[in-house]
Every structure is written in C-alpha cells, then in structure tokens.
Amino acid sequence: MFIQTMFTQIVTKRARSACDISFKSQPHNLPKAPLIAPLTFLLASLFTLTPIAVSAADKIDVIPVTVEAIQETAFADIVNEVGKINAIDSAILNFNASEKISAIHFSNGDKVTKGQVIAEQDNTKAKADLDKAKSTLALAKTKLERIEDLLIKEPFALSKQDVDELRENVNLADADFRQKQATMNDYLIKAPFDGQLTSFSQSIGSQIGAGTALVTLYSLNPVEVRYAISQKDLGKAQKGQKVNVTVEAYGNKVFNGLVNYVAPAVDESSGRVEVHAALDNPEFKLAPGMFANIKQFYSNDIKHLLVPQNSIIANNDERFVWLVRGDSAVKQVVKLAQNTNDGYAVVTEGLAEGDLVVKTGMQNLKADSKIKVIRDKSAADKATVSSVNSGAVEALSAEPSTEGAE
C-alpha cells in the first residue's frame, strides 16, 4: 500500500505539471481540447501500472530448505596412543646340566601345553647314578627289615645304637635316591605353562652347557599391550578401564582389553605415564612385538551438542549456521570442537538442544529470508520440525529438496 500511494502521488504531480505547461504554452485564442490528451494518458497510466507495482511489492521469495534438530549426545572421553604387544608370561628355556642334546620333541613355533617335555639331554651317567642309588636304598631297607625281624625273636640281639644306625642308613640312601631322581630333571626341558615356542638355537647332538638358552616360550593368551599416556591424564587412567586395540596385520578388527597397570609415577626421561592392558587372544592372532593403535576409554558419560557438518558455513575464521525462527532463517555464529567422523561436529557455543538448523538450501539464504521447511527423508527421525512455528512448516509431504549441501 505504501508503494501504491507513492506511485499515485508521483503520477498526479506529473499530470498537474503537464496541465500547467500546456495552459501556459497555448495561445488564449486556441481551443482547449489538446490539453485533455496528456491528462488522459497520465491517468490511464496511473490505473494501468499501479496493480503491477503492487503485485511486485507483494511478491516475496520463499526458499525451500531441509532442517535438523540439534541433539545432545553422550561421548566417551578417549585417548589415542601407540604401543606394542607383549607376552604377559615368557620364559627362556635351558637345561640345568651340561651334556649333548638327545631329543627335541617339537618344531620351531609349535604350541605346547604345561608339563610337556620339549627336549632331552643324554642322561646315561645320571641314570646309572640313579640306579645305583636305588639299589643302595633297597639294600639298606632289606638289612633293616632283617634286624627288625630278629629283634622280635631276640630283643637283645643287637644294641639300640646299632639299630638306629641301620635306620639312619636307610634314610640316607632314600635321600640320595631322591636327589638322583631329581637330578634326572636337569636333563629335561618341560613347558612351565601353555604357550608357543620360538626357534631352537641348537639341534640334536649338540653339546649344550647348563644355563644356555635353547628356546623361548611365550604365553599368548592373554597378551598385554604396553603404551604411555600424557602426564595430564594420570588422574583419569585407572585399572579396569576398557581399551580397544587394532594392529596393521588385521586391518580394522578390534581386540578388546582391560587396563591392568597404571604406573604410579611419571617417567623422568619421557615425561609420560606407562600403562598396560591385558587382551584376550584365544586364536593367537596377536604376537609379541606387534605395534598397536590403542583407544583407552576414560569415561562414557560426557555430553556434547552435535551439529551436521553440512549446516556449517565458513567465512574466513568465522563459522555460522542458519537457524529456523518462525518462517524465517536467522544467521547464528557458532564455536566448534572436533568432528565426529560421521558427518557431525561438536558445537561448544551458539546453539542449544532442540534448535533447528538449515541442512540444505543455504546457498540462497540471507538475513530474514522466508523459508519453507520440507521433509528430508535421510534425516526424518532427527528433524523435529513439529517444534517450528506452524507458519514455517509447509509441504511436509512434498518431495525432498534437490538442493546440494553447502
């Protein structure tokens, strides 16, 4: 109406000016009819152009957009580190005697169970000594039995001291036999626990000294990953916290474990805190020495607001989104934290839970643009358009917008 009024005033003013010019320029003795023509033309223009001007003024572009509601999501407080797989139990296996190797019962890399004999030395001399001790013990026992049978018939046939000496001889012979029997184990290597062997350093027939390593045994289930965290996280790390581990050999396969050790002090040389976590490894896929990528979960109840990355517009160092306010779009500056790697970013300032942000159609928006919210099938569950003013929610059953994301 304002434009119509202004247009009418301008046309009327020009009509009057035209009439004044005509009256002044015409001689007084000429007829006045020609003066009607300009007036008629101007009046016709007034009534013809006024509807066009009013129509142009009343026409407002309504921009179709899709929206999504800002939601609060629980996050875990996670630290990412690099470490190395280690065996929780490992043992360097060797003989306790110096002799030639007479037998090796396993091959390089074989798995063994606790108590199995892995290798043997030539124990000929030791076995002879054992047999001799066994005979000595048997003889001592026989003598003692005979004397005891005699004393039953003749109680005073032998002095008590002599009987005690015979009994002591039996005890000494028994001790010697047990010692020789135990010595036989010095010529054997037995598995102290279930595990997997490395490669043997010597072969059958080799002379090997006492204490010389023959092979190493690793316990591979469970295994342990060792790594270090920043000292600022010392107060967060605790035994029993969950860890996820991946290794290059198995791509994205995740191995789960629990923290079983957090160093009580910061390492002086590195300035970091050592952490160990135990990992179940029933298939023996994790091997000692492997490098590992570790995620340690400090907590799981940290709340953050998420905004779709498609909604974020960059302008130099500024980041902003378009908010739905009634049937209009309003620019809102935001501050962001990290991306979530699934199409969203954590927003720390500028938005509240439930705010509706424009997800597509932003390229045509400007301050106080009129908008029409249409359904985004890909985010139908997240876009709570029911909270928008009823004047802004139109064509909810319409086809999705074909607008590209900004």
Q: What's the pLDDT tens digit per position in 247-260? A: 999 999 999 999 99
Q: Give φ, ψ of 280 to 5 degrees.
A: -65, 140
Note down the domain range covering 250: 80-87+220-301
Which has the minimum average pLDDT: 61-75, 90-104, 147-161? 147-161
180 and 161 share one domain: yes
321 and 343 share one domain: yes
Q: Which of 124, 132, 122 is nearest to 179 (CA)?
A: 132
Token code pair at residue 76: 């875990």
Q: What is the pLDDT of residues 302-346, one digit of tens each?
A: 788 888 888 899 888 899 999 998 888 888 899 988 777 778 888
* Domains: count for the chain: 4
70 and 120 share one domain: no
pLDDT at 189 over 90: yes
Cα separations in angstroms, 209 against 98, 184, 213, 217, 242: 4, 16, 9, 19, 46
Which pLDDT score is estimated for 60? 63
Which has the minimum average pLDDT: 14-18, 114-118, 373-377? 14-18
Helix (H, G, I), strand (E, B) or coil at 141: helix
Q: How far apart are the C-alpha atoms of 402 and 399, rounded to whole Å?
A: 9
Whole-number average pLDDT of the chain: 80
Q: Is residue 392 a part of any domain in this protein?
A: no
Q: Is residue 130 a part of any domain in this protein?
A: yes
123 and 212 share one domain: yes
205 and 307 share one domain: no
Q: Is residue 34 a part of any domain in this protein?
A: yes
Q: How far apart are the C-alpha atoms of 42 and 10, rounded to whole Å?
A: 11
Q: Is residue 404 a part of any domain in this protein?
A: no
Q: What is the CATH number of the domain that holds 351?
A: 2.40.420.20
Token code pair at residue 401: 């917008």
Q: Which of 217, 236, 254 corresponds to the end of one domain?
A: 217
118 and 188 share one domain: yes
38 and 149 share one domain: no
Q: Is residue 237 a part of any domain in this protein?
A: yes
277 and 338 share one domain: no
177 and 122 share one domain: yes
Q: Is residue 38 a part of any domain in this protein?
A: yes
pTM, full prediction: 0.52
- Mean pLDDT for 134-153 is 87
Q: Is residue 10 a part of any domain in this protein?
A: yes
292 and 233 share one domain: yes
Which pLDDT score is estimated for 369? 82
Q: Is 361 exposed, middle or buried (0-12, 13-18, 19+ CB in 10 A)?
A: buried
